[in-house]
Every structure is written in C-alpha cells, then in structure tokens.
Amino acid sequence: MAAIIYNVILIASFIFLLQKKDDTEAYFPLKIIGYFLLGSFAFNLNQVSLPLGFILYLLFFRPKLNAHVKRMAAVLGVFSFIIVYWIFPFGINQWENRSIFIEHDLDSVYTIDFQDESELIKQELSLENDFLKLGDFRVEYLEDGSITDISWHLIRQDDNSFSLYYIQYDPGKSRYQVTKSRADTWLQYDRLTGVDRFFENLDILDIKELTKSKGSFSFYVIQGSGERVLFAEEENRTDFFVSNGEIRLLDHKQLPVEGYIVSTFAMKKMEEEKDDQGRIVHESFEGAESSSYLFDVEFGE
C-alpha cells in the first residue's frame, strides 16, 4: 500500500512538473525524477526514518537551469517521504491499535461461564482460529456476586513479533474494551498457559462456595498470571490442585510442585478516611483468607 501511494505521488508530480519547464535542458524529465527521488531518499537510524536525501539537496545542490522546478521536485519528494514513512505508518498503527468495544451484559461471577466469555471475545476479534496464550487475569467482585472489574491479556505470536490484546470490562457501560499493541519480544511467552486451558480449569472452581468459606469482606479477588510457577515453600494458606476435573487438597508434604496457579483471596478494609461532606477520600485494604488452585501440576520427587 505504501509503495502504491509513493508511485501515485511520483507519477502525479512528474506530470505536473513537466509543465513548469522554463529553460531548455537536456534530459530534463530524467533530472526531475532524480530530484524527486533525492528528496524522498530515506536513511533509517534505530528504526527511525530520516529525510537524508532532502538534507543533502539543501546542503549541496544549486541548480542553474529550471531551478524552481527542481526545487519543487525535491520538495514533493520529501512530501512523499513524510506521507510514506511517517503519516501512513502512524495511521496504520492508530487503526490497528484502536480500542474495540463489545457490548455485553455480564452475569454474576457465581453463574458466569468464563469459557463462553473468552469465545465471545475471540469471535469479535476474529481470533477463534488462532492459538492464544493468557496473561494477568483478574476479576474483582462483591459478596453478592456482582462483578466490579475483570481483565486479562491475550498474547498471539506472529512471525517476528507478538500481538497483545488487553481486555477489560466496564460494568457501568456494560461492555468490554479491547486495546491492541505489539511487542518485539515476550520473554515469558513459553511459560504461559493457553487461554482455553486456563478458563477450562477456572470454570471447575465453585466460586460461590469458596467465597462463602472465606466469610464476609469488602470484596473478593480471583487472579492468575498465566505463567507456570514453582511452589517450593510452605505458606500460610490453603492450596489445592485440579486433577481430571476434580479439586484436591494439596498436602505441603508434596512440595515442591510446579503448575499454573489461580489465586483467590478476600480484601479486608483496614482504613477509611472521609472529608467534611462524608465522602470517602481514602481507603486501604489487606488481603485475607488466601487460597490457591494449581492445574497441569507436576510433582517433585
């Protein structure tokens, strides 16, 4: 597409400048093309394109015949450079990385099917046939099951880069917002779980029962980095692992173990400040009643 734009500008400029000739000059058409190409010549420095050709024209070229036409050719050349190397890539990047909104009403966290939510997102993004990995999943909800926040990343490996999709739900507007970006590297990619595998195991959890077991708190959190982790030390919490669709208690005598983790915990309000009008201006919370669920577990010997 960029090459087409460049050729269109070149041809249009060539036809236009031929009509501006004042002095008789040998090989004038070829010289016009040469000045245009000089003006559009680019030098790439650390992935930044610079108009080196136009700079050279300003420094060293002083034509005597048809000077104004050659100057216009160089200016049109640098104009094509700006469009092809700066404006066009910027526009493509803005279009590809634009936010996409998906109107959708979420159920209670106690009844939601996370696999269905994932499939909805993939279909809307035309990613249903791609292999995707998951990162940084997090959902916050109240004791009655109302979801106050939910977000996660989808990561797709392309030929020489990674496409990152950040998905976040806006409860106030009942819609998902998806923002896309690109990265040249993703160091932990090989340690991430597939998105389908993550939500398949998340749906096994009885969120209502595990929330009830924690007691009454300000709100609750379920999260998972999607990265394979090593459990090597006993901590002050209850841990479980998923095996053949069943949840089993993890005996700390079985440590170390390795697997993908889903952490669940309650958030206990520790501090609250209000202004003169009684509005809350500051709150602080502390995690409580933590428990973890591992899947695709490998036990150490």
Per residue in 19-52, pLDDT (tens digit) is: 888 888 888 889 989 999 999 999 888 778 888 8
Closest CA to 8 of 104, 79, 100: 79
Mean pLDDT of 157-171: 91
Q: Identify the burial level of 114 via C-beta atoms within 10 angstroms of its C-beta, where 0-12 means exposed, 13-18 middle and 19 or more buried.
A: buried
Write the CA distances from 180 to 116, 153, 159, integer angstroms: 21, 10, 17
pLDDT bracket for residue 154 (50, 70, 90): very high
Mean pLDDT of the chain: 88
Residues of the chain with pLDDT > 70, as a percent, come to: 97
Q: CB neighbours of 78 closer than 8 A, spacing ≥ 6?
A: 39, 40, 51, 53, 54
Question: Which residue(s) pair with 244 in the sheet?
Answer: none
Task: Match 């030390």 to its residue by tokens.
Answer: 233
- Integer-rounded Cα Rg, in Å, for the chain is 30
Cα gap 108→300, rounded to integer Å: 38
Q: What is the pTM of this model?
A: 0.74
Which amino acid does the sequence have at 5?
A: I
Q: CA-CA distance, 289 to 271, in Å (whole number)?
A: 18
pLDDT digits (tens, 9 = 90+) for 86-129: 888 888 777 777 889 999 998 899 999 999 999 999 999 998 77
According to the model, what pLDDT value does residue 168 have? 95
Higher per-residue confidence, 234 vs 195: 195
